[in-house]
Structure 1
Amino acid sequence: MKNLLLLLVVLTSPFVSCTSESIDNAKILDDGLIENKSKKTAKLLQNLNPENPANVYDIAGKIHNDILDVYLSGNYSYNTIAQISQKVDSIAALNSDLLNMGTSLPCNFQEIQETVNDPQIKLEQAIANSLMTNAAKISLSNFMDSILLLETNEYAVIHQSIISFEASVISNTQFSNEDKRIILTTSSIVRHSTYYAKERKDKDWETSVGNRVGAVQGALENSSTAVNKSVVTGIIVQSQAE
């Protein structure tokens, strides 16, 4: 009997050893796959940028971030709309890309303050009073509402959503060329400014409704004014929140 038990132990040991080894190897393999997937995802996010070459007005968002970057790097202590607007104008005057987009109209200080105080009302007024087609007004209004719902997501999700929206605008035959310019200029600034806040994690900057409304208000004039007004309104929101 003892010999039989001994024989069974000897015969089953290799199988136990093999099974244990297989489990260990499977775990190592799974861990390796997870690690590689994490590295791949991290690399993907690292390479993600806010650009959308399909949007012909994409330069507006890039210029917005360039001007904002110069301003925030200066650590200025301005806190009035006039002071901030003047400084932004001086920075913008050195940006050749912005100059190529046309002349930016002077900021209406009272309108900016009203936008900071009640951005949603000013947004609705700007869109309603614009010369855009009704279909374009609805599209832009829905886009601005959707950003409010998306802003807590990772930037990759926001970026993809805006890219998809822009594709639908570009292909929409109901929109006039001016409709598309206004909407695509606005969406570019929203996409780039959100990237600035989320991916750069700049402690001195967060995107705001006021910043986006400023983009819409300015875009109704021209793309250059959209950049300028968005930057100024965004900085005012930050300065008054401190």
Structure 2
Amino acid sequence: MKNISLGLVILPLLIISCTTDTIDNADTGVSKVSDKKSEKGARLIQTLSPENPENVYDYVGKLHNDLLETYLAGNYQYSTISQISEQIETISTANSDLTLLNLERGVPVNLEEIQEIVNNPEAKLDEVIANSSMTTAAKISLSSFMNAALLWENEEYGVIYQSIISYESAVMTNTEFSVEDKRIILTTSSIARYSLYYDKKPPYDEDWGTSVGNRVGGVSGAIDNSLTAISRSLIIRIMISNLVAD
């Protein structure tokens, strides 16, 4: 499950011997370079879009971000899965895009499963994928994609975006995958693509940083339907951010 086919290239660290003064100077230089890269990344993402019209489930990721924006704008102080779930459902019901798309109703919230994902997302990911109805090839593919996503936290969004749409293109043209395989994978990748975009765009709030849990929630929900994928991802994202903030 740890065979990462889409992992980004990690440059090896160069180990050098130097004096204390050299180290201090190097640290200052690295800091300046890091600041410049952050500024460049912030400017770059303002010109990027997370959209991929080729993915027929692109709307799922867009709705995910729209509902997240609405929730945050409300400045709610909910702290339990049940409270957050109820508010997400209220926001979803009032969202005209969801009505127009005539999405299936979300599956009732499984509080125990969501808590398990919050507690140990990576272990739950393996379980969710293994117990899904996907073919073996699709399970391996989705697992590799999700594991690759673990390496993206410090990457610029442009690199992340290219990796995801390349993966989506490969999934769409894969003749071994069933229609259901593609639905689950492309729904998951859409949420990952949009949520990572949200994490990277300024103003950046570290409490809303990249969360493995919310992407696992997306997988778990996608196995049922699009609306469940959106709501479960959001609930877990909010719960984990609350824990980080505390």
TM over 0.5: yes
Greater Rg over alpha carbons, structure: 1
SS at structure 1 position matched to 2:124? helix
> Which amino acid in 1 is paired with 2:233?
S
| Residue 114 (structure 1) shift | 0.8
Distance 2:214 2:42 in 1: 29
1:107–1:114 Cα change, 3 Å? same
Contact 1:123–1:213 (CA under 8 A) maintained in structure 2: yes
Distance 1:226 1:160 in 2: 23
SS at structure 1 position matched to 2:61? helix
| 1:12-48 C-alpha deviation (Å, 9 max, x unpaired) | xxxxxxxxxxxxxxxxxxxxxxxxxxxxx98764321
Distance 1:83 1:45 in 2: 33
Distance 2:46 2:63 in 1: 21
SS at structure 1 position matched to 2:125? helix
> Which amino acid in 2 is paired with 1:206?
G
Residue number among 108, 133, 151 corresponding to 2:153 in the alignment: 151
1:192–1:42 Cα change, 3 Å? closer
User: Does 1:130 pair with 2:147?
Assistant: no
User: Does 1:85 pair with 2:85?
Assistant: yes
Contact 1:207–1:234 (CA under 8 A) maintained in structure 2: no
Contact 2:199–2:208 (CA under 8 A) maintained in structure 1: yes
Q: Which has the higher helix share?
A: 1
User: Does 1:121 pair with 2:123?
Assistant: yes
1:198–1:43 Cα change, 3 Å? closer
SS at structure 1 position matched to 2:155? coil
Contact 2:153–2:210 (CA under 8 A) maintained in structure 1: no
RMSD: 1.7
| Residue 232 (structure 1) shift | 0.6
> Which amino acid in 2 is paired with 1:162?
I
Q: Which residue number corresponds to residue 18 of structure 1?
A: none
| Residue 138 (structure 1) shift | 0.4
Residue number among 194, 208, 215 corresponding to 1:192 in the alignment: 194
TM-score for the superposition, normalised by structure 2: 0.79
Contact 1:166–1:184 (CA under 8 A) maintained in structure 2: yes
SS at structure 2 position matched to 1:76? coil
Residue number among 168, 192, 198 corresponding to 2:170 in the alignment: 168
Which blocks of at least 5 consecutive residues in structure 2 are unaligned?
A: 1-40
Q: Which residue number corresponds to residue 98 of structure 1?
A: 98
1:42–1:74 Cα change, 3 Å? closer
> Which amino acid in 1 is paired with 2:96?
S
Q: Which residue number corresponds to residue 49 of structure 1?
A: 49
| Residue 210 (structure 1) shift | 0.6
Residue number among 225, 229, 234 corresponding to 1:226 in the alignment: 229
> Which amino acid in 1 is paired with 2:110?
N
> Which amino acid in 2 is paired with 1:135?
A
Contact 1:65–1:196 (CA under 8 A) maintained in structure 2: yes
- How many corresponding residue pairs? 203
Please list, as runs of the form range in 1=range in 2, the aligned pairs for 1:104-115 lying within 5 A after superposition. 104-115=106-117
| 1:53-102 C-alpha deviation (Å, 9 max, x unpaired) | 00000000000000000101111111011111100110011123334222
Contact 1:116–1:233 (CA under 8 A) maintained in structure 2: yes
Larger RCO, structure (CA 8 Å, separation 6 or more): 2
Distance 1:181 1:136 in 2: 11
Distance 2:194 2:153 in 1: 13
Distance 2:181 2:204 in 1: 32
Contact 2:45–2:201 (CA under 8 A) maintained in structure 1: no
Higher mean C-alpha deviation, range 197-206 or range 229-238: 197-206
1:239–1:44 Cα change, 3 Å? closer
Overall identity of the aligned pairs, in %: 57
